[in-house]
Chains A and B, each alone.
Chain A
Amino acid sequence: MDFTFTPEQDALREQAREFLTATPEPTWAQLAELGWTGVSIAEEDGGAGLTFVEEAVLFEELGRALYHGPYFATMGLTLPALPADLRAEVATGETSWTLALGPLVPDLDTAERVAIVGGDGIYELEGGEREILATTDSSRPLGVVRGGAPGRRLADSGVLAEIESRSQTALALEASGVARLALEDAIEYASSREQFGKKIGVYQAVSHPLADSYTRVELSRSLALWAAWCVATGDPQAAIAASAAKAYAGESAVWVCETAIQSLGGIGFTWEHRLHRLYKRALAIESFGPSGTRLRAEIAASLLSTDGVSSESPEPVSIAQGG
């Protein structure tokens, strides 16, 4: 068992952090130049032949950077539906995609091409009119497409299960990146801001919710990375891990941002600080796709339907205590 990143994966994270700090609004071509649009695409299709774990590193960093662009829509949503020739075009950065799973389509303002689900297949949408909608979170605009007709058939709809696991995991990773930055902002503020003659981080009414935020950030990250590994290796637990990660990390990112806003007081409530943008992205992530309640209902159904151990057997041993 090894749950650490390789030096190459660590280097990728470092590169991503540096690049996104220097280039907060990168173009698709720039991401392609870095090799990010071909990370998990096979080498024979022009990609790097790496795995979803490397993409996971990028999703976390892109979430943290509040990246605005079609990376999630292309790599997180549409990629499993694309045939080899179209994957190659993604790897080179020639094109980007989004997928209309519901009426509200993500990254419709930046994605070049649109895929739709119809009957038993996924098709490229030919023609049609796009309308970009006003959204609370400006970092991931939503839109609707009207009209148009199904063009090339891209994949069988059987691929939707993989799309669901991938996209939920990607969102959980983004959420984990958002939450960590919000926590860092709150720690920095609580370590410098003084009231009543002391740094406010001294007060446990401030520090304990931040300790709980840390807990939520780490638990979110553990679930998201577990799900990412399951997706990368085709593990049978991928679907339930992705649901668990999205339900927990989405809700937790919102909670961590709210705690950070409260910790910063007035300034956290204004547009002077970036927290409001992190918060809005967290809310958008939580609202995307099936709700946490729905995901948990599915998890409960799967837990309660399978055979388990009888509840008649007595207790597991309890924690031993010193004195």
Chain B
Amino acid sequence: MDLRDTPEEATFRAALRAWLEENLPAGLQGHRGGATRFDGPEMREWSRALYDAGYVGLTWPEEYGGGSAPYTHQAIFLEEMARAEAPPHIGVIGIGMAGPTIIAHGTEEQKARYLQPLLSAEEIWCQGFSEPGAGSDLAGVRTSSTLDDGHFVVNGQKVWSSFAHIADFCILLTRSDPDSSRHAGLTYLIVDMHAPGVEVRPLRQITGEAEFNEIFFSDVRVPAKNLLGEVGGGWQVAMTTLLHERGTLGFALQAQLEVQIRKLVALARDRGADPLQRDRIAREWIEMQAVRYTNYRSLSALMKTGMPGPEGSISKLVWSEANQRVTKLALEILGPDSALGEENAPYGGYWQYQQLRSRGNTIEAGTSEVLRNIVAERVLGLPYSR
């Protein structure tokens, strides 16, 4: 047990910190979320800079353009990025979800075609899993794919898709067997977002911004070679994707929470906080530290055994609820001023935006209800509720 960076990790961290200081454009630091977030060329340039510096795909095998680095480097990267308030690489869906899924289930041709442009931000990916009728219960997917003359013909609707409005490709979960139900009969496809019949509509959310999109597919023809895994084997492929969605988040989330609490402390210093509010600030700081060291434990287990420790499964659950409490507490400290909107609000409306946005934290990437089921059933071994 040694909680310090090894000399080698410290060198990596120091170099990264210096690189961020030098290369993160001032205009992108703390980049505001929302519809405008990824549309301009500056985010692509930033992502490309990260790639050229060797910080993208750190843990991926070298043969696919990665760095073959240990997981600790990825953890340090996510920590330092969040602390510098640097926006992530624009290809988060590609790097975090599509890429690992292609590495696990793709053909050699698919790996050669898709992986490198995804890392270098030349091609952007989005995810087409959730549907109006299939949210937490993903096995209810109804978007259909029918084989016709070497193509899958896709029809249906997907929802909650970040980046879809700028994406080049979509990882799409479809039902290829119309007579199947639940986990059988699903097929996982790579879909060209520029193909005829793909329509993207922005979805305005509680903050007033449109981070997410709906995607409509009308007779979209997808070449059969874009199949990922087997026809009817889509569920297993999708589980790989979700494992990676939840598996790589912990460190970034903890570091974001650390930044959020730093800002909360600054706010309390600025505006004053009564003893009860100070008690709550201390509670949040303590829990943030607890999440940090829980992540460390999970990562250490991963490094030693190749499997993340079960305790890692709670990071997102704890983070999401903490972020909701922290942002609410900030509004309470702001007092009546918290009712003011964007241009009239103190600190540029930062806390008002954050508080509203935080309501999505317990819904996106696995609702808290689903995550508690996962802990109860898979970690604690309680009987399955379904």
Q: Which residues of A contact B133 (CB under 8 A)?
A: none
Is A147's beta carbon under 8 Å from chain B? no
- Taking CB atoms, residues of chain B closer than 8 Å to A248 are 286-287, 290
Segment from B48-56, B89-97, B186-194, B223-231 that makes contact with A:
B89-97
Give the number of chain A interface residues (Cβ < 8 Å): 62
**Contact B381–A304 (Cβ < 8 Å):** no
For the complex, give the distance between the alpha carbons of A313 and B348 in Å. Answer: 9
Q: State how many angstroms separate the Cβ of B340 from the closest Cβ of chain A.
A: 16
> B47 at interface (Cβ–Cβ under 8 A)?
no
Q: Is the CB of B127 within 8 A of A190?
A: no
Q: Which of A78-86, A93-101, A208-216 contacts B (4 or more CB under 8 A)?
A: A208-216
For B278, B301, B377, the residue with the greatest tally of chain A CB atoms inside 10 Å of its CB is B278
Contacts of A317 in B (CB 8 A): 31, 33, 82, 85-88, 256
Q: Is B45's beta carbon under 8 Å from chain A? A: no
> For the complex, is A320 an interface residue (Cβ under 8 Å from B)?
yes
**Chain B residues in 8 Å Cβ range of A152:** none
Q: A3-B1, A207-B382, A299-B286 are in contact. Are A314 and B32 (CB under 8 A)?
A: yes
Q: What CA separation (Å) do A198 and B283 show in the bound complex?
A: 38
- Complex CA–CA separation, A316 to B83 (angstroms): 8
| Minimum Cβ distance to chain A for residue B385 (Å) | 5
The reply to whether B385 and A323 form a contact with Cβ atoms under 8 Å apart is no
Scan residues 309-344 of chain B and give those whose CB is less than 8 A from a CB of chain A. Answer: 311, 314, 317-318
> What separation, in Å, do the CA atoms of A208 and B85 have in the docked complex?
34
- Give the residue name and chain of the A residue nearest to B82 (CB): A316
- Cβ of B155 within 8 Å of any chain A Cβ, yes or no, is no
CA distance A208 to B373 in the complex (A): 7
- Taking the complex as formed, is B169 at the interface, i.e. its CB lies under 8 A from any CB of chain A? no
Binding site for A on B (CB under 8 A): 1-6, 9, 29-33, 72, 82, 85-88, 92-93, 96-97, 126-130, 158-162, 164, 211-213, 215, 245, 249, 252-253, 256, 259-260, 262-270, 273, 275, 278-279, 281-283, 285-287, 289-294, 296-297, 299-301, 303-304, 311, 314, 317-318, 347-348, 350, 353-354, 357, 360-361, 364-365, 369, 372-373, 375-377, 379-385
What residues make up the interface of A, taking CB atoms closer than 8 Å to B? 1-6, 9, 53, 187, 190-191, 198-199, 201-204, 207-208, 210-212, 214-215, 218-223, 225-226, 229, 241, 244, 247-248, 293, 295-297, 299-301, 303-304, 308-323
